[in-house]
Amino acid sequence: MSEALLLSKIEIRQSVIRQRKLLSAEKKRLAEIEMLKSLSKWDLFKNAAIVHIFLAKTAEPETRQIIELGWKYGKQIGVPCILPDKLELFHSQLNSFDNLSAGSLGVLEPSAETRIELSPKIFELIIVPGLAFDRNGGRIGYGKGYYDKFLANSSAFLLALAFDFQVLDRVPAEPHDISMNGILTETGLIFCGASNK
């Protein structure tokens, strides 16, 4: 990675993190309601039998209501668990919010004894976290590379979940970065690049 590209990614991460901290609880809640409304009307979400989604950290768009909507529709929900010694994700079925504990990066995940392994290849829709995105599907994550490894082997529709201010004109990309098919924000669904789903 070039020094300029690295610096640019660091600057974008810092800027977005600052903006997320400035977002009031009420504006965040209202944005999340709009995201849920858009998702509930989207045919791909309604028709996907198996959905992968992250359990949100405090500043990220909340995902519990999306998970609950998925359960209401009878979907199988998978969530990531971090395997820090392998620098990869383990995917577990999620049937309730009981027995969650903080993983190695402080993200909630099913406790080790309650995990039900799911193959990364079975998901039809993957809802992806990140710090910044662009309309061509570019994504800047948190810098660990867990998701790029996972998404590289998936044929699912990749949907980023973000607030409007996280969608930039352009984010720097490297060859191993995986592009999103769409982005869900409070103002609706954005379909990226050549994606027409």
The per-residue b/e assignment along 42-73, b for 16 or more CB within 10 angstroms, e otherwise, is: bebbeebebbbbbbbeeebbbbeebbebbeee
- How does 115-150 read in b/e, with b if 16+ C-beta sit within 10 Å? beebebeebbbbbbbbbbbbeebbbbbeeeebbebb
Q: What whole-number percentage of the chain has pLDDT above 70?
A: 94
What does the pLDDT look like over 50-105, one tens digit per residue?
Answer: 999 999 998 999 999 999 999 999 999 999 999 877 878 999 999 999 989 998 77
pTM exceeding the 0.75 threshold for the entire prediction: yes
Distance CA 32, CA 43 (A): 19
Domain boundaries, the chain: 3-191
**Phi/psi at 104 (5° precision):** -65, -25
Residue 9 pLDDT greater than 50, yes or no: yes
pLDDT for 37 beyond 70:
yes
> What pLDDT does residue 196 have?
43
Q: Is the pLDDT of residue 2 over 60?
A: no
What superfamily does domain 3-191 belong to in CATH?
NagB/RpiA/CoA transferase-like (3.40.50.10420)
CB atoms within 10 A of CB 89: 20
Across the chain, mean pLDDT equals 91
pLDDT-derived band at 186 (thresholds 50, 70, 90) equals: very high
Instruction: Using CA atoms of 44, 75, 158, 130 in order, give the dihedral in degrees to the nearest 10.
Output: 130
Q: Per residue in 98-127, pLDDT tens? A: 989 998 778 899 998 999 999 999 999 999
Q: Which stretches of 23-127 are DSSP H helices? A: 25-41, 43-47, 64-72
What residue has token string 């490297």? 174
